[in-house]
């Protein structure tokens, strides 16, 4: 079948890294805080999750999506991304230590949601000035 094709599996797996070049992925693997050999760590990927929260939040507000469901919708968006990475085998939610473990997923989600919150605070304060 076409889905058993090795090239297709490579493309599918690469989608979990948003098709980033290997050199860039290696840079993102460096631990900034802690160590992926332990339970808790923050890596370059965590910063990417924070920045993607900023970007998606700004886009969400720019396109005037439902502000009432702002946090819920962006949380669902990020959760779907994390689930996709689990489905393709990139994240290992059953592991406590090592890269792409459950703690990593939680930290990345928290950082994503912090950036979502920051954008919302700035958006609300800018609307109060108008």
Neighbours of 56 (CB within 10 A): 19
Examine residue 76 and state whether it is found in any structural domain, yes or no.
yes
Structure tokens at 12: 């599918």
Percent of residues, the chain, with pLDDT higher than 90: 35
Q: Is residue 15 part of a domain?
A: yes
- Give the pLDDT confidence score for residue 50 in this predicted structure: 94
1-49 confidence digits (pLDDT tens): 555 666 766 766 666 566 566 776 676 666 777 776 766 677 788 888 9
- Unique residue bearing structure tokens 């720019």: 62
- Say if 129 falls within a structural domain: no
Could you tell me if residue 86 is inside a domain? Answer: yes
pLDDT of residue 24: 63
> What is the CA angle 61-64-70, rounded to 5?
55
Number of domains observed in the structure of the chain: 1
Q: Which domain holds residue 82?
A: 2-124
């Amino acid at each position: 079948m076409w889905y058993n094709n090795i090239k297709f599996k490579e493309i599918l797996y690469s989608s979990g890294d948003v098709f980033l070049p290997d050199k860039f992925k290696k840079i993102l693997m460096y631990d900034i805080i802690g160590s992926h050999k332990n339970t808790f760590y923050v890596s370059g990927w965590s910063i990417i999750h924070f920045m993607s929260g900023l970007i998606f939040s700004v886009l969400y507000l720019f396109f005037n999506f439902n502000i009432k469901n702002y946090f819920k919708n962006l949380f669902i968006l990020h959760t779907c991304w994390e689930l996709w990475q689990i489905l393709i085998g990139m994240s290992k939610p059953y592991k406590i230590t090592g890269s792409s473990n459950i703690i990593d997923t939680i930290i990345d989600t928290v950082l994503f949601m912090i950036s979502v919150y920051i954008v919302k605070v700035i958006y609300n304060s800018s609307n109060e000035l108008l």
